[in-house]
Structure 1
Amino acid sequence: MRIFKKKNRIIIILASMLLLCSAVLLFFNIDLNASKPAEANQTETNQKIANPEKPVNPTNSDQTKKSESKKVVYLTFDDGPSKLTENFLDLLKEHNIKATFFMIGKNIQNPDYQKNMKRAVDEGHYIGAHSMTHDNTKLYKKKQFLSEMDKTTSLIQDVIGQSPKLVRPPYGSAPGLNNKGIRDQIAKKGLKVWDWTIDSNDWKLKDNPKQIIENVKQHTSKDIEVVLMHETPQTLEALPEIIKFYKDEGYEFDVYSESAHFVCNFQKDERL
C-alpha cells in the first residue's frame, strides 16, 4: 500500500513537471512568434534607410540640380531718371524683369521725371543713389561724396517714400573710394556700395547697339553678373537682345534686395 502511494506521488509529480514544461514551451513559442513581425518590420525599415527609394518624379531631382547651379544676372541702369525711363520700364514689364536703377539727384529734382520713379518702385524695381552731380572733382577731390549721397537719398525718400541703402559711386569705387577714411564714413552711415562685374560701355557707343550687345556677351563668365548700363537710346535698342542672350544662357533676372545684399565693390571692402 505504501509502495502504491509512493508510485502515485511520483506519477503526479512527473505529470505536474510535464505540464509545467509544456506551459513554459508554449509561452516562449507564442512570444517568439509574436516578435517576428516586429523584427521583420525593423529589418524593412533599416533597408529603406540604407536604400532610399528613387524620386517618383524625376523633375524634382532636376530642380534641385538647377537651384544648386543657378545663374543670376542683375541689370542696372545709371544716370536716370530721364525722358527714357518710361521706355525702359515698358520694355522690362514686357519681359517681366525687375531691374536696379541708380539715379542722380539733379535729375530727380525734375518733377516731370518723378512719376516714373514711383512707377518703377510700384512695379518691383529698386532705386539707389548715384550722387547729386556726378562730378568727379566734387565727389572725390573735394570729398563731397557722402554729402551728395545723403542729399540724393533724401530726394529719393521724398519721391517714393523710401530711403535707399545702396549707392553707386560715379566712375566706380576705384579709384573714387581709395581713401579708407571715406569708406569708414560710408560704412558708419550704413550705406552699401555696388560697382559692377560687366561694363557694357553703352554710354560711349552712340548709334552702335550691336557693340553694346557684344560687350555684354564677351564679358559674361560668372554665375552672378551685375551689368552696368545707362538710360541711353542705344541701350534701349540693345536691351531686348541682351535679355534674350541671358535667357538663352540660362540666367535668371533679379533685382537688388537690401535684405539679401552681397559685396560687389572694386575695393573688396566687406563692410560695403
Structure 2
Amino acid sequence: MNVSQDTYAEKRKGNKKRFFILLLILLIPIFFTGFFVGKSFSAPKKPIEPEVIEDVEAPLVQEEQKPKEEEQSKEETSAVEKPTGKVVYLTFDDGPSKLTDEFLNVLQEHDVKATFFMQGKNLKKEYLQESVKRAVKERHYIGAHSMTHDFKKLYKENQFVPEMRETLELIRDITGESPQLVRPPYGSAPGLKNEQIRQQLVDAEIKVWDWTIDSQDWKLKDNPNQIIENIKLGTKDEKEIVLMHEKTQTLAALPEVIKFYKEQGYQFAIYDESDHFVLNFLNDIRL
C-alpha cells in the first residue's frame, strides 16, 4: 500500500510539472504578440505634430502674400494708359487759385483728367496747397509755370531755369511728385530763343510744352461762349493741346468744351513723362 501511494504521488507531481511547462509554452507567444501589437497601436501619435504646425503656419503664409497683392494693385492703379486715336490734352495755367477746387469738381463730374501748370508764388500760399494735393490724388498732372511770370526776369535776366527749378521743387514738397515738365509764360517763342537758356533746360533735364490751341480765355471775361467757339474753330488735328487758364469765364465754358470733344470722339489725356513728345514753338527736339 505504501509503495503504490508513493508512486501515485510522484505521478501527480509529474503531471503538475508538465502542465505548468505546457502552460508556460503557450503563454510566451501570447505575451510577445501583445507586446508588439501594443507598440504598433501607440505609433500613430507622432504624425499629429505636422498637422498642428501646418495650422499655425497657414495664416503666416497668407499675411506674407497680402503686401505683394497690394503692391501689384497699386502699380496697376498708378499706371498711365497710353491714349490711342484722337486725343486732347486740356491744360490750365496760373494756378493754384481759389477756383482750383471748382475746376477739379467739373473734371471729376465728367471723368476727365487734365494738366495744370502752376506758379510758384501761388504754390507758396498754404491755403491753396490742399487743392494742389487733391489734384495729384485725383490723378491730374501738375507742371511748373515759373515763380514770377515776369517776362523781364525770366528771359532778359536769364532766370527762367532757376525759377522753373524752384517751382518744380515746391510741387515736389507739396505733393511728393517730381515732375519735369514746364510751360514757358508767353510761350517758348519768343521767350526761349536764347540758346543758352535752352541748353540750361537740356542740362537740367526739363521738358517744355506750349500748345496747339489758344482759347484766349484770359481776355474774354464774361464771354464763355467765345472761348468755346475759339476752341471749336482751332480743333483740326487728331492730337490737340488746349491752352486755358484758371478764370471764372473758363470754368463756365469747361462743361461745353468737354462735351464738344466727347462728341468729336476724342480721348482725354494728361502729360505722360514716359511718353514725352516734342511740343514747342521752336521745334527743339531736345525739349
TM-score by length of 2: 0.71
The Cα shift of 1:154 comes to 0.9
Q: Which residue of 2 aligns with 1:45?
A: none
* Secondary structure at the counterpart of residue 243 of structure 2: strand
Give the distance between the partners of 1:156 and 1:263, measured in 2 at CA. Answer: 23
Choose which of 157, 161, 176 in structure 2 pairs with 1:146. 161
CA contact (8 A) 2:145 2:183 kept: yes
Q: Which residue of 1 aligns with 2:141?
A: 126
Give the distance between the partners of 1:140 and 1:69, measured in 2 at CA. Answer: 36
1:201 and 2:230 aligned: no
Q: Which residue of 2 aligns with 1:265?
A: 280
The Cα shift of 1:156 comes to 0.7
Q: Which residue of 1 aligns with 2:227?
A: 212
Give the distance between the partners of 2:177 and 2:139, measured in 1 at CA. Answer: 13
Size of the alignment, in residue pairs? Answer: 206
Q: Which residue of 1 aligns with 2:259?
A: 244
Give the distance between the partners of 2:126 and 2:152, measured in 1 at CA. Answer: 27
1:189 and 2:207 aligned: no
Q: Which residue of 2 aligns with 1:102?
A: 117
Q: Relative to 1, partners in 2 of residues 1:69 and 1:113: Cα closer, same or farther, differing over 3 Å?
A: closer
The Cα shift of 1:69 comes to 7.4
* Secondary structure at the counterpart of residue 127 of structure 1: strand
Give the distance between the partners of 1:79 and 1:179, measured in 2 at CA. Answer: 24
CA contact (8 A) 2:146 2:184 kept: yes
Measured against aligned partners, the alpha-carbon deviations of 1:44-80 in whole angstroms (never above 9, x if no partner) come to xxxxxxxxxxxxxxxxxxxxxxx99710000000000
1:18-97 superposed matches below 5 A: 70-97=85-112
CA contact (8 A) 2:88 2:269 kept: yes
Give the distance between the partners of 1:95 and 1:149, measured in 2 at CA. Answer: 31
1:111 and 2:126 aligned: yes
* Secondary structure at the counterpart of residue 195 of structure 1: coil
Give the distance between the partners of 1:165 and 1:158, measured in 2 at CA. Answer: 14
Give the distance between the partners of 2:104 and 2:84, measured in 1 at CA. Answer: 29
| Structure 2: gaps (5+ residues) | 1-81
Query: Given residue 213 of structure 1, which amino acid in structure 2 is its aligned partner?
Result: I
Runs (4 or more) in structure 1 with deviation over 2 Å come to none
Query: Given residue 81 of structure 1, which amino acid in structure 2 is its aligned partner?
Result: P
Q: Which residue of 2 aligns with 1:30?
A: none
Give the distance between the partners of 2:83 and 2:132, measured in 1 at CA. Answer: 35
Query: Given residue 79 of structure 1, which amino acid in structure 2 is its aligned partner?
Result: D
The Cα shift of 1:222 comes to 0.6
Give the distance between the partners of 2:169 and 2:136, measured in 1 at CA. Answer: 16
Query: Bigger radius of gyration, 1 or 2?
Result: 2
Q: Percent identity?
A: 65
* Secondary structure at the counterpart of residue 207 of structure 1: coil
1:235 and 2:247 aligned: no
Give the distance between the partners of 1:222 and 1:190, measured in 2 at CA. Answer: 29
Query: Given residue 223 of structure 2, which amino acid in structure 1 is its aligned partner?
Result: N
* Secondary structure at the counterpart of residue 226 of structure 1: strand
* Secondary structure at the counterpart of residue 217 of structure 1: helix
TM-score by length of 1: 0.74
* Secondary structure at the counterpart of residue 240 of structure 2: strand
1:177 and 2:216 aligned: no
Give the distance between the partners of 1:124 and 1:101, measured in 2 at CA. Answer: 11
When the two chains are superposed, the root-mean-square deviation of aligned CA atoms in Å is 1.3
